Amino acid sequence: MSLDLLVRNATLPDGRTGQDIAIADGRIAAIEPGIAAEAGRVIDAGGHLVAPPFVDCHFHMDATLSLGLPRMNVSGTLLEGIALWGELKPLLTFEAVVERALRYCDLAVAHGLLAVRTHVDICDDRLLAVEALLHVKKTVAPYLDLQLVAFPQDGYFRSPTAAANLDRALDLGVDVVGGIPHFERTMADGAASLKALCEIAERRGLLVDIHCDETDDPLSRHIEALAYETQRLGLNGRVAGSHLTSMHSMDNYYVSKLLPLIAEAGVAAIPNPLINITLQGRHDTYPKRRGMTRVPEMRAFGIEIGFGQDCTMDPWYSLGGADMLDVAHMGLHVAQMTAREAMRWCFDAVTVHPARIMHLDGYGLAPGCHGDLVVLQAKDPIEAIRLRANRLFVVRRGRVIAETPARIASLALPGRPAAVDPAAYAPKAG
C-alpha cells in the first residue's frame, strides 16, 4: 500500500497511545500501532495528541477582521457595536468582504480550524455579503468547509425586506435557515417567525440555526417555540438554537419542563462562551450574571451541544483569533466544568459535537473518514485546553497544509534546564 501520509506515535483523544495513522487517497486507511508502508510523507507525532480538526459552528464571517472600520468600538459595548455595524454595512464592498474572509480562513487553517458555520446578514437588499461569502465558500472548499446561514439580523418580520431577501439568499445557495426571534417586535411575532422559518427549512430540506434568546430576560422563551416547531415538522436533529442565554436567568421549575422538550425535539444548543460572558449581564450591578446557557444541565439530558466562537475582531468583539481551544477554555471556566470527564467533553464541544450539528460528512478520526487531522503540542485533550496548545501540523485530505514549530523557550538560568517545553508539564497520571 502506498500512502499519502503516515503519522507515527500519536496519542488519540480517547486515550489510546502509540498509534500510527495511515492516509491514502485523502481518507484514513488505518489507525493501529506499527503500520509498515511507504508514504509520501511521514510525521513523527512524538506521543503528542492527534485530533480531528476543530469545528466552529457559530461565526460571523461577513464582519470578521473589520475592527477599526470605519472606526473603533471605543466603549467596547454591544450598543456601540450595533451602531458601528450599521455604519459599516453600507460601506462594504464585495472585494473587501472576500479579502477579509479569506484572511480569516488563513488564520483558521493555521489553528487547525477546518470547518466553520457562518451566519451572513441578509438584511442588505444588495445581498453583497451573501454573494461574497458564497464566492469564499467555493474558493476555500479544498481546505475548509464553510457552511452559510441566511441570518435576518434586523428581524425576519421587523425588517421589511428580510423575508424576500432570505428566500433570495437560499435560492443563491445558502445552506441553512437562520432567525432572531427575540429581536422581533413581540413574543408573538418571534414565535410566528420561528413557525415561518422552520416551514421554509422543511419545504427546502435545509437545516435551521436560530439566534435564540440572546438576552438576560428570563421570560424570553423562544427556545420553547423552536422545540415545538421542530417536533411538529419532524425536523428532529436538524435544528440548532444558538446562544440560549436567557436560560441562564430562567426560573428553575420552568427549565425542568423545558430541557426534556428540547431533548425530545433533538434541538442542538450552541453556546458562545467568549461572547456570552462579555455581552450578557450588562444591565446587572452585583451579583453580575454570567449569561452563558446551562451547559452541564443540558448535557445531562443528552442534548447535543457545540461551543461556537461567534466573533473575531469585529464591531462586537475586539479580541478572538480563530482559536477554538480559547473557546473551549472559556466554556469550561464559565460552566465550571472542572471534573476530569467534563474537561475532556469540552474538547469534544469544539470538535466532534459541532461536526454533528453541522452534519459534516466523513468527519472523524477513524478508518474511512477524511484524512483531516491536527497534531497538537499537548499530551491529551485536557492539556490541549489548558495550554491552548500549539498546532504542530494541520492535515487536510492527507496533505500538510499548515505547520508551526514547537513552542520551546530557551532559559538562561544558572543551574536550571536550558529549555522549557510547556507540554512537558503534563500530569503523570491521565
Q: Output the nine-digit C-alpha cell for 262.
A: 428540547
Beta pairing, strands 391-396 & 399-403: antiparallel
Q: Nearest approach, Cβ of 305 to Zn ion (angstroms)?
A: 16
Min. distance of Cβ 104 from Zn ion in angstroms?
15
Q: In what order do the strands lie in the sheet with 176-179?
A: 54-59, 113-121, 145-151, 176-179, 207-212, 239-243, 268-270
Q: Cα separation of 243 and 228, whole Å?
A: 18
- Let me know: does 222 contact 182? Beta carbons within 8 Å: yes
Give me the least distance between CB of 73 and Zn ion, in Å please. 16
How far, in whole angstroms, is CA 238 from its chain's centroid? 16
- Judged by CB, which is closer to Zn ion: 310, or 383? 310
Closer to Zn ion at the Cβ: 35 or 65?
A: 65
* Cα–Cα distance measured from residue 349 to residue 351, given in angstroms and rounded to the nearest whole number: 6
- Closest CB to Zn ion among 243 and 344? 243
Tell me whether residue 101 or residue 389 sits nearer to Zn ion (CB atom). Answer: 101
Number of residues that bind Zn ion (CB under 5 A): 1
119: phi then psi, degrees, rounded to nearest 5: -80, 145
The CA distance from 334 to 337, in Å, is 8
What DSSP line would sit under 300-334, residue for residue? HTT--B----B-SSBTTBS---S-HHHHHHHHHHH
In the complex, minimum distance from the CB of residue 27 to Zn ion, in angstroms, rounded to a whole number? 33
Q: Which residues pair with residue 314 across a beta bridge? A: 317
Q: Which residue's beta carbon is nearest to the bound Zn ion?
A: 310
Work out the burial of residue 96: count CB atoms within 10 Å of its CB; fewer than 13 is exposed, 13-18 middle, 19 or more buried: middle
Residue-wise DSSP of 184-206: SSSHHHHHHHHHHHHHHHHHHT-
Looking at beta carbons only, is 6 or 113 nearer to Zn ion? 113
Amino acid at 8: R
Whose Cβ is closer to Zn ion: residue 124's or residue 310's? 310
Closest CB to Zn ion among residues 310, 372: 310
- In the complex, minimum distance from the CB of residue 85 to Zn ion, in angstroms, rounded to a whole number: 12
CA dihedral 166, 167, 169, 170 (to 10 degrees): 120
Q: Confirm whether 304 is a catalytic residue.
A: no
Q: Please report, as residue ranges, which positions from 285 to 314 form the binding site for Zn ion (by CB under 5 A).
A: 310
Nearest to 107 by CA among 394, 354, 363: 394
**Helix (H), strand (E), coil (C) string for 98-165:** HHHHHHHHHHHHHCCEEEEEEEEECCCCCCHHHHHHHHHHHHHCCCCEEEEEEECCCCCCCCCCHHHH
Hey, which residues does 396 pair with through a beta bridge?
399
CA-based max dimension of the chain: 71
- Nearest approach in angstroms of CB 287 to Zn ion is 26
The residue (of 29 and 65) whose beta carbon lies closer to Zn ion is 65
Q: Least Å distance between CB 279 and Zn ion? A: 10
Q: Which of 202, 214, 229, 383 is catalytic?
A: 214
My answer on whether omega of the bond before 70 falls inside 30° of 0, hence cis, is: yes
The DSSP element (H or E) to which 362 belongs, if any, is none
**Residue numbers at the binding site for Zn ion (CB under 5 A):** 310
Catalytic residue annotation: 214
